[in-house]
Amino acid sequence: MLDARNALLAVKDLQAWYGESHILHGVNFDVHEGEVVTLLGRNGAGKTTTLKSVMGMVGRRQGSVRFEGQELIDRSSDQIARAGIALCPEERGIFASLNVEENLLLPPVIRPGGLSLERIFELFPNLYERLGSSQGTKLSGGEQQMLAIGRILRTGARLLLLDEPTEGLAPVIIQQIGKTIRALKEQGFTILLVEQNFRFAATVADRYYVMEYGRIIDQFATSELDANVEKLHDYLGV
């Protein structure tokens, strides 16, 4: 069992609200350096809110979010980004009027260690083919997802938060996203992944947390996956 005291990201008793709606009810989890950790759960379980709460992008939050030993619960979203955490949202957030290169060059470099354009094109050769000619809205769904991930890789963030990166994508693109996540892990990136597709998550993740009604209700490692398949089916309704 990993020691939470040595975690790169340690979340304790995290509460979050949108207006008067209390969404997260004491979420606890940790992510260690070099890991891929997945939050699993049905729609409305609180997975996306958890990522946004880590980034300070909810109306109100309480509890503790520690990154590299520093408390971030009272910091703004831009301060959290500068600390070295980057979010790739489910809606991707691509600038529709900008082409591929302009989208990639737009995010600021917040820390040393961001990937060069050349390295991003090695990960996503499709983007190189569309480099200067395609605006964001003219890219396929898979290309938009690649571009969204590529943009956060430019920033120098150590911890990547990926929200439903495979949602709505063709199987061949899902395979490419999986290959990219494994390559990023090999390069030392740490990834917190939100997924409903646990079959995809099983190809990339080291550990899993299951969410329901704004709480973590279970956790297990990849080595324990086979023993938990039936339980996962019940949790996820698959």
HEC per residue, the chain: CCCHHHCCEEEEEEEEEECCEEEEEEEEEEECCCCEEEEECCCCCCHHHHHHHHCCCCCEEEEEEEECCEECCCCCHHHHHHHCEEEECCCCCCCCCCEHHHHHHCCCCCCCCCCCHHHHHHHCHHHHHCCCCCEHHHCCHHHHHHHHHHHHHCCCCCEEEEECCCCCCCHHHHHHHHHHHHHHHHCCCEEEEEECCHHHHCCCCCEEEEEECCEEEEEEEHHHCHHHHHHHHHHHCC
Mean pLDDT for 61-74 is 96
Q: pLDDT (tens digit, 9 = 90+) per residue, 190-229?
A: 999 999 888 899 999 999 999 999 999 999 999 998 898 8
pLDDT at residue 42 above 80? yes
Q: Per CATH, the architecture of 4-236 is what? A: 3-Layer(aba) Sandwich (3.40)
Q: pLDDT (tens digit, 9 = 90+) per residue, 13-27?
A: 999 999 999 999 999
Task: Read off the amino acid at residue 1.
Answer: M
Q: pLDDT (tens digit, 9 = 90+) per residue, 78-106?
A: 999 999 999 999 888 888 888 888 888 88
pLDDT classification of 140: cutoffs 50, 70, 90? confident
Look up the pTM and report it. 0.93
Q: pLDDT (tens digit, 9 = 90+) per residue, 168-198?
A: 899 999 999 999 999 999 999 999 999 988 8
